[in-house]
Amino acid sequence: MTTMETTLRNALGDKTAKALASHLDLGTVGDLLFHFPRRYDERGEHTDIDALALGEEATVLAQVQRVTERSMRARRGSVLEVIVGDAQGGVLTCTFFNQPWRRRYLRLGRWGLFAGKVSEFRGTRQLNGPDYVLLGEGEDETDEEIEEFAGALIPVYPAAAAVPTWVIARSVRVVLDTLGPVPDPLPAEVRTGRNLVGLDTAVRDIHRPQSAAALARARRRLKWDEAFAVQLTLVQRKIRAADWPATPRPRAAGRLLDLFDTGLPYQLTDGQRRVGEDIAQDLARPHPMHRLLQGEVGSGKTVCALRAMLQVVDAGGQAAILAPTEVLAAQHHRGMLDLLGPLGAAGELGGSVDGTRVALVTGSLSAAARRSVRDDVASGAAGIVVGTHALLYEGIDFADLGLVVVDEQHRFGVEQRDALRAKSSQPPHVLVMTATPIPRTVAMTVFGDLETSVLSQLPRGRSPIASHVVPAAEKPAFLDRAWRRLREEVEAGHQAYVVCPRIGQADAAGGVAAPAIPSARDGDGELLPEPPPGTDPADQRPAPLAVVDLVPLLEDGPLKGLRIGALHGRLPADEKDAVMRRFAAGTIDVLVATTVVEVGVDVPNATMMMVLDADRFGVSQLHQLRGRVGRGSAPGLCLLVTETAAGSPARERLDAVASTLDGFRLAELDLEQRREGDVLGAMQSGRRSHLRLLSLLRDEDVIRDARVDATALLREDPDLSSHPALAEAVAQLVNEDRAEYLEKG
């Protein structure tokens, strides 16, 4: 009798097992049965052929509509063209060279599954030499009918060219026919309370459903298992973390934090005060704080973090803030010094005796500066330390690290964050910040072991931002008007950003002359964002616009006479800092930059941003970039320049960004358009993950209910010692690599 642990070699034989292992990484019966169908086609219904993308490896359920055979003119032989599709006009041509015998089987009216790569010839979509399997027609069955598709719902699996969906279906049928009862690790009270079918029923019905209702019940149970495994892991680690010791850092009256609050030139928002109280209470406990602070761009997260750091300094500890780039680290350092004034210059001329020092640690420090900073950090003289990943190096040791603040946490690896926390003798308190709003379901699933705070209210004095899409290809006059609009903004006394996807190599490689604006394109850089959803990797569009190439074109063209600066990641640190200082001081009118300005850059006089090749950026990235303007009293303007066609997915994404400033709505849009596995990212690294069905967008109720039941179960059995089968199932779904990722946050 076959079990879930049986190898596919023993269950199916060497040949099939080898193909499944090499092409789909399936090694056991359990691996195969958790390789769920991607979709289900139904007899009598056609696949949406018009929705197929060129270059896609597709499997379609279709009906033969016409068969023609013709001779090839250029060489001997014939071409058999089989038109399949539906009466609504969705058609696909299947082309077979020198295979006239297929006419005997590919008869009019026959249904089949056809698999191959979608291409186009003379405006018609086609599959060249596709694999196919024909479905039986009652008494007119042929040898090509296969038992795997005897039901009304036909499973279509994630497949490979060498292992089409029907091979997977045949393999599933073989193992199901010999599979013994599948043990169910879910406690009976949970299964009954949530009205879930047994695991054995779910595993069989997900592959060979006899009805839509049976399929729905199977999917609901298997989604529950995925959500429950993740929530058990998160809640279990949250319970364990609550028992870790940490040094309490209670607020001290009349000390540095009170002096800072008294000297603030503005009032904190209600949200900042509320978050501040939550953080203050966490820091006063003898267990480590583990809190996620998310908020809109410009909502005042940095001030909340600084107040938390001052509370820790008042309690005799040190605080470190880890920033992803030197530009952002330097910005934080300058901003904190400006906010603290004499309170941040202890021991210096004009510094307050009640203050502390704010040290900056980056990889570009000179040896002498590094020694000086290292001594200040080691002695405790520097109560606040701002740095990039250079903070993680050996040689930077803290006297008493009490709080770690991680800014833009998604830019750091788990190991980097953990290395900083390891510099404390006891687990420090941890505050994770992000300006990318996170949908509630993502927070519950990925950050479920963190307490979450949200800042949705913008500080007083922030101005609205208008956003518009500039269709450069369709309406080049709009682009000309955009450059004139930028000049008007500068002439009115304001400043502007021009953002490009890449740095460029014209200056480094001897230079290929860049063509004229608006399509000056060349270069390579470290900051090109991930291709947006639906982008074909083989896309042959021109290379994206580059900073190095664009600056001279602007200086001689539409922005002639304006003071233009360039900022990108390849500049030396001191040069980057000098450029930002000049821009902040107003001696640069227009800053042409890569996404190095995406976070942390705060120049209130900058009122306009043009994002060139905006379709090459993701939704969250565009929202972050847009937040660099409108930070003062004058309204902001963001123009998203693109050459994509109206109605394309990329253009629709840009239209959505332009239509709203609601970061949480945009985060949901981003989630809709991305593969959800990308969201779970590192949590699914390591060996195979069986997280397949759970949708963070559509299954909020499942995630919420799983959280409730996980909390209740672990309250009674924190180590799952009374539920060993469940503990094993959780370990299979959320393996140690992913568990460690969740633990480290």
DSSP 457-479: SPPTTPPPEEEEEEETTT-HHHH
Distance CA(580)–CA(565), nearest Å, equals 9
Give the containing element (helix H, strand E) for 739.
helix 736-744
Reported confidence tier of residue 708, pLDDT bands at 50, 70, 90: very high
Last residue of a domain, one of 180, 203, 238: 180
Q: Does pLDDT of 198 surpass 70? A: yes
Amino acid identity of 625?
Answer: L
Residues 6+ apart with CB under 8 A from 139: none
CB atoms within 10 A of CB 121: 10
Q: Are strands 564-567 and 606-611 parallel, antiparallel or unpaired?
A: unpaired
Q: Check whether residue 193 and residue 236 sit in a common domain.
A: yes
Q: Does pLDDT of 679 surpass 70? A: no
pTM of this prediction?
0.67
Q: Are 26 and 20 contacting, i.e. CB atoms less than 8 angstroms apart?
A: yes
What is the distance of C-alpha 542 from the center of its chain? 26
* Residue 743 placed within a domain: yes
Reported confidence tier of residue 569, pLDDT bands at 50, 70, 90: confident
Q: Does pLDDT of 396 surpass 70? A: yes
* Residue 327 placed within a domain: no
- ω into 439 cis (within 30 of 0): no
Residues 6+ apart with CB under 8 A from 172: 32, 33, 148, 155, 207, 208
Helical ranges in 122-255 per DSSP H: 165-178, 188-193, 199-207, 212-242
Of 121, 233, 360, 51, which is closest to residue 711 (Cα–Cα)? 233
Last residue of a domain, one of 135, 162, 180: 180
Domain that holds residue 471: 465-660
* Residue 86 placed within a domain: yes
Of 667, 681, 663, 539, which is closest to residue 613 (Cα–Cα)? 539
Q: Are 494 and 588 contacting, i.e. CB atoms less than 8 angstroms apart?
A: no
Q: Are 187 and 726 contacting, i.e. CB atoms less than 8 angstroms apart?
A: yes
Q: Are 222 and 733 contacting, i.e. CB atoms less than 8 angstroms apart?
A: no
Indicate which CATH number applies to the domain containing 90: 2.40.50.140
Residues in the chain: 745
Indicate which CATH number applies to the domain containing 600: 3.40.50.300
Amino acid identity of 360?
Answer: L
Distance CA(605)–CA(610), nearest Å, equals 15
Name the domain count of the chain: 3
Predicted local distance difference test score (pLDDT) of residue 514: 41
Question: Got the DSSP string for 310-369?
Answer: HHHHHTT-EEEEE-SSHHHHHHHHHHHHHHHGGGGBTTSTT--TT--EEEEE-TT--HHH
* Residue 393 placed within a domain: no
Last residue of a domain, one of 142, 163, 180: 180
CB atoms within 10 A of CB 1: 7
What is the distance of C-alpha 382 from the center of its chain? 35
For 447, which DSSP code?
S
Predicted local distance difference test score (pLDDT) of residue 119: 86
Structure tokens at 5: 């642990």
Residues 6+ apart with CB under 8 A from 379: 399
Predicted local distance difference test score (pLDDT) of residue 440: 64
Predicted local distance difference test score (pLDDT) of residue 487: 95
Give the containing element (helix H, strand E) for 256.
helix 256-263
- Comparing 47 with 254, the larger pLDDT belongs to 254
Predicted local distance difference test score (pLDDT) of residue 394: 63
Distance CA(621)–CA(459), nearest Å, equals 22
Q: Check whether residue 31 and residue 69 sit in a common domain.
A: yes
Q: Are 356 and 346 contacting, i.e. CB atoms less than 8 angstroms apart?
A: yes
* Residue 347 placed within a domain: no
Distance CA(327)–CA(334), nearest Å, equals 11
Amino acid identity of 115?
Answer: A
Q: Are 62 and 85 contacting, i.e. CB atoms less than 8 angstroms apart?
A: yes
Structure tokens at 315: 């309690």
Q: Check whether residue 450 and residue 555 sit in a common domain.
A: no
Question: Got the DSSP string for 652-720?
Answer: HHHHHHHH---HHHHHHHHHHHS-HHHHHGGGG-SS-----S--TTT-HHHHHHHHHHHHHHHHH-TT-
Q: Check whether residue 291 and residue 153 sit in a common domain.
A: no
Structure tokens at 344: 């941040």
Q: Which residue has the tokens 């005796």?
A: 353
Residues 6+ apart with CB under 8 A from 116: 57, 58, 94, 127, 128, 129, 130, 131
Residues 6+ apart with CB under 8 A from 595: 499, 501, 527, 529, 617, 621, 625
Of 396, 261, 418, which is closest to residue 744 (Cα–Cα)? 418
Predicted local distance difference test score (pLDDT) of residue 255: 93
Helical ranges in 34-84 per DSSP H: none
Q: Does pLDDT of 356 surpass 80? A: yes
Predicted local distance difference test score (pLDDT) of residue 414: 52
Q: Check whether residue 135 and residue 193 sit in a common domain.
A: no
Reported confidence tier of residue 74, pLDDT bands at 50, 70, 90: low
Summarize pLDDT for 297-350 with one digit per residue, the tens.
677 888 999 999 999 999 999 999 988 888 788 888 988 999 999 999 888 888
Please state, rounded to an integer, the average pLDDT across all residues of the chain: 82
* Residue 342 placed within a domain: no
Q: What percent of the chain has pLDDT over 70?
A: 81
Reported confidence tier of residue 668, pLDDT bands at 50, 70, 90: confident
Q: Check whether residue 469 and residue 599 sit in a common domain.
A: yes
Amino acid identity of 186?
Answer: L
Distance CA(76)–CA(58), nearest Å, equals 30
Distance CA(523)–CA(512), nearest Å, equals 9
Q: Check whether residue 644 and residue 565 sit in a common domain.
A: yes
Reported confidence tier of residue 447, pLDDT bands at 50, 70, 90: low
Q: Check whether residue 632 and residue 686 sit in a common domain.
A: no
Q: Are 714 and 240 contacting, i.e. CB atoms less than 8 angstroms apart?
A: no
Q: Check whether residue 622 and residue 522 sit in a common domain.
A: yes
Predicted local distance difference test score (pLDDT) of residue 88: 64
Q: Which residue has the tokens 């690290």?
A: 401
Q: Which residue has the tokens 């060129």?
A: 54
CB atoms within 10 A of CB 56: 13
Amino acid identity of 374?
Answer: R
Summarize pLDDT for 616-651 with one digit per residue, the tens.
988 878 888 888 898 888 899 999 999 988 888 889
* Residue 422 placed within a domain: yes
Distance CA(338)–CA(326), nearest Å, equals 18
C-alpha pair distances (Å), 492 with each of 194, 199, 485, 495, 557: 63, 68, 11, 9, 20
Q: Which residue has the tokens 């691996």?
A: 31
Distance CA(745)–CA(290), nearest Å, equals 9
Helix (DSSP H) and strand (DSSP E) numbers for the chain: 24, 21
Q: Does pLDDT of 510 surpass 70? A: no
Q: Check whether residue 707 and residue 615 sit in a common domain.
A: no
Residues 6+ apart with CB under 8 A from 96: 79, 80, 81, 82, 102, 129
Q: What does the radius of gyration of the chain's CA atoms come to, in whole angstroms?
A: 30
Q: Are 272 and 278 contacting, i.e. CB atoms less than 8 angstroms apart?
A: no
Q: Check whether residue 700 and residue 655 sit in a common domain.
A: no
Q: Does pLDDT of 740 surpass 60? A: no
For 647, phi then psi, to 5°, come to 90, -15
Structure tokens at 679: 């969201």
Contacts by 669-675, CB closer than 8 A, 24 or more apart:
669/619, 670/618, 670/619, 670/620, 671/439, 671/442, 671/696, 671/697, 672/697, 673/532, 673/533, 673/534, 673/619, 673/649, 674/533, 675/533
Q: Check whether residue 32 and residue 158 sit in a common domain.
A: yes
* Residue 193 placed within a domain: yes
Q: Are 120 and 58 contacting, i.e. CB atoms less than 8 angstroms apart?
A: no
